[in-house]
């Protein structure tokens, strides 16, 4: 029987690989899915009813913690993967998957759309047999990390097309959060505070979006603000921040405390404001007015979305003014026009799942 090993280390990995995993299982392949103890990851696996073997944990913000957690996870994975004996390994740039696969002589297919995450790229790409990535990221960018150009498989799509193409919104998310569909909903996604590629740009002690949150809550009225923290530490910081502010007339603030159907929440939002990457891309492809406040230089994906007119990049001190302008317009008409544009672009994109599966079968058929 053909055996495939997937290693999921972040929430995005679940959405990106879910259909590939299900497809392989339906075709008769035996699939091992490993994960790690990481707040949003395990919650999303449960939400999507995807069973995984939990091996190791996330290392946190400090380099020493990341190193020790990764080293310990490699040792634990070796036993699990060696017993399973897969013909191919697949991950979204998991350093542990790349190292274990290489050490056991297993071909590793690496998905990656963030060359700006240099540490992860250096730990995964040189050890990978194939790299699958969006076409908009030049091959020369990846080659410098140590992979041959012939081993790069590019698709004409952005990663969230994998699940947004098949997405159907559920209005029940608004009831779960006690939100009023008739009032403006502003959804915020904070930055990846613990990511090594943002070291020097952000930290947990000073909340990056704090000035913006303060402006939205105190200077606008009759709006609903939903903040989607990444970690328990972030949630505590935002609770502390919002409890110290004077909430203007008619405003409501929701800070989520568990993983939800965020795609549906974004779909029904009037405006999305993100300091990360994946949700900003999701909002853009869903045709929701999307604003990026990413702390570092814009990523290649963000630049592409900006060129398409699906994403607006603004410094934090200019976001309030732009949001006010949007909300003075007929937001329903604004979203309808943007949604038509986004849908056309999305339909022209490939399905990355097909590309990933094709790469996998090349190794299974040998």
The pLDDT tens digits of the residues spanning 75-91 come to 999 999 999 999 999 99
Shared domain for 188 and 315, answered yes or no, is: yes
Q: Which pair of structure tokens corresponds to residue 362?
A: 């090349």
Structure tokens at 71: 């080293």
Q: What are the tens digits of pLDDT across the range 285-307?
A: 999 999 999 888 899 999 999 99
* Bridging pattern class, strands 30-37 and 3-7: parallel
Tokens coding 121? 């790229």
**247 and 332, same domain (yes or no):** yes
Calpha distance 194→177 (Å, rounded)? 27
Do residues 109 and 356 lie in contact, with contact meaning Cβ atoms separated by under 8 Å?
A: yes
Query: Looking at the domain assignment, is residue 218 inside a domain?
Result: yes
Does residue 162 sit within a domain?
A: no
* Residue 290 pLDDT: 97
Q: Which residues contact 227 (CB under 8 A, 6 or more apart)?
A: 188, 190, 213, 238, 242, 253, 254, 255, 256
- Cβ atoms of 157 and 352 closer than 8 Å: yes
Could you tell me the two tokens for 28? 């008769």
Q: What mean pLDDT do residues 16-29 have?
A: 98
pTM of the model: 0.93
Task: Establish if 97 belongs to a structural domain.
Answer: yes
Are 125 and 201 members of one domain?
A: no
Asked whether residue 128 falls in the same domain as residue 175, the answer is: no
Do residue 355 and residue 297 come from a single domain? no
Nearest to 44 by CA among 316, 280, 200, 228: 228
Burial 314-338 (b: 16+ CB within 10 A, else e): bebeebbeebeebbeeebeebbeeb
pLDDT value of position 193: 64
Predicted confidence at residue 204, as pLDDT, reads 59
The answer as to whether 87 is a domain residue is: yes
Tell me: do 144 and 193 sit in the same domain. Answer: no
Tokens 């995993």 sit at which residue? 21
Same domain for 214 and 358?
A: no
230-243 pLDDT, tens digit per residue, is 888 888 888 888 88
Helix 278-285 to helix 300-308 angle, to the nearest 10 degrees? Answer: 20
Residue 216: closest CA among 206, 207, 227: 227
Host H or E run for residue 352: helix 352-364
Are 313 and 327 members of one domain?
Answer: yes
* Domain range enclosing 122: 3-157+350-365
Rounded mean pLDDT, 156-179: 97
Flag whether 355 is in a domain: yes
User: Is residue 336 one of the residues assigned to a domain?
Assistant: yes
Residues 178 and 99 in one domain: no
Q: Is residue 60 scored above 80 in pLDDT?
A: yes
Q: Rounded to whole angstroms, how far apart are CA atoms 83 and 215? A: 55
CA distance 99 to 81: 12
Same domain, yes or no, for 88 and 117?
yes
In a domain, 271, yes or no: yes
- Whether 69 and 38 map to the same domain: the answer is yes
Q: Which tokens in the block code for residue 158?
A: 């952005």
CATH number at residue 267: 3.40.50.2000
Q: Please state the domain count of the chain.
A: 2
Q: Are residues 240 and 121 in the same domain?
A: no
Residue 44 located in a structural domain: yes
């Amino acid at each position: 029987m053909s055996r495939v090993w997937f290693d999921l280390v972040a929430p995005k990995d679940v959405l990106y690989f879910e259909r590939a995993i299900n497809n392989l299982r339906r075709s008769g392949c035996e699939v091992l899915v490993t994960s790690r103890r990481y707040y949003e990851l395990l919650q999303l696996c449960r939400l999507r009813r995807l069973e995984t073997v939990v091996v190791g944990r996330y290392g946190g913000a400090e380099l020493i913690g990341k190193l020790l957690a990764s080293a310990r996870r490699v040792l634990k994975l070796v036993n699990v993967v060696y017993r399973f004996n897969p013909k191919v390994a697949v991950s979204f740039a998991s350093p542990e998957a790349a190292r274990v696969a290489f050490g056991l002589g297993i071909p590793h297919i690496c998905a990656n759309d963030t060359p700006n995450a240099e540490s992860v790229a250096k730990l995964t790409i040189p050890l990978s047999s194939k790299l699958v990535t969006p076409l908009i990221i030049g091959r020369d960018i990846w080659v410098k990390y140590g992979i041959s150009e012939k081993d790069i498989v590019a698709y004409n799509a952005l990663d969230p097309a994998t699940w947004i193409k098949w997405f159907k919104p559920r209005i029940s998310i608004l009831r779960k959060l006690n939100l009023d569909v008739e009032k403006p909903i502003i959804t915020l996604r904070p930055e990846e505070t613990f990511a090594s590629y943002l070291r020097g740009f952000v930290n947990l002690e000073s909340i990056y979006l704090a000035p913006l949150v303060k402006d939205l809550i105190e200077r606008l009225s009759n709006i609903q603000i939903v903040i989607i923290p990444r970690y328990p530490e972030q949630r505590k910081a935002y609770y502390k921040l919002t409890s110290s502010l004077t909430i203007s007339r008619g405003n409501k603030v929701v800070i989520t405390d568990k993983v939800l159907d965020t795609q549906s929440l974004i779909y029904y939002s009037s405006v999305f404001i993100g300091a990360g990457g994946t949700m900003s891309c999701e909002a853009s492809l869903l045709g929701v007015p999307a604003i990026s406040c990413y702390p570092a230089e814009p990523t290649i994906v963000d630049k592409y979305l900006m060129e398409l007119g699906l994403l607006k990049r603004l410094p934090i001190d200019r976001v309030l003014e732009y949001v006010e302008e949007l909300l003075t317009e007929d937001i329903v008409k604004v979203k309808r026009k943007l949604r038509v544009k986004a849908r056309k672009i999305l339909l022209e994109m490939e399905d990355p799942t097909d590309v990933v599966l094709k790469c996998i079968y090349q190794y299974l058929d040998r």
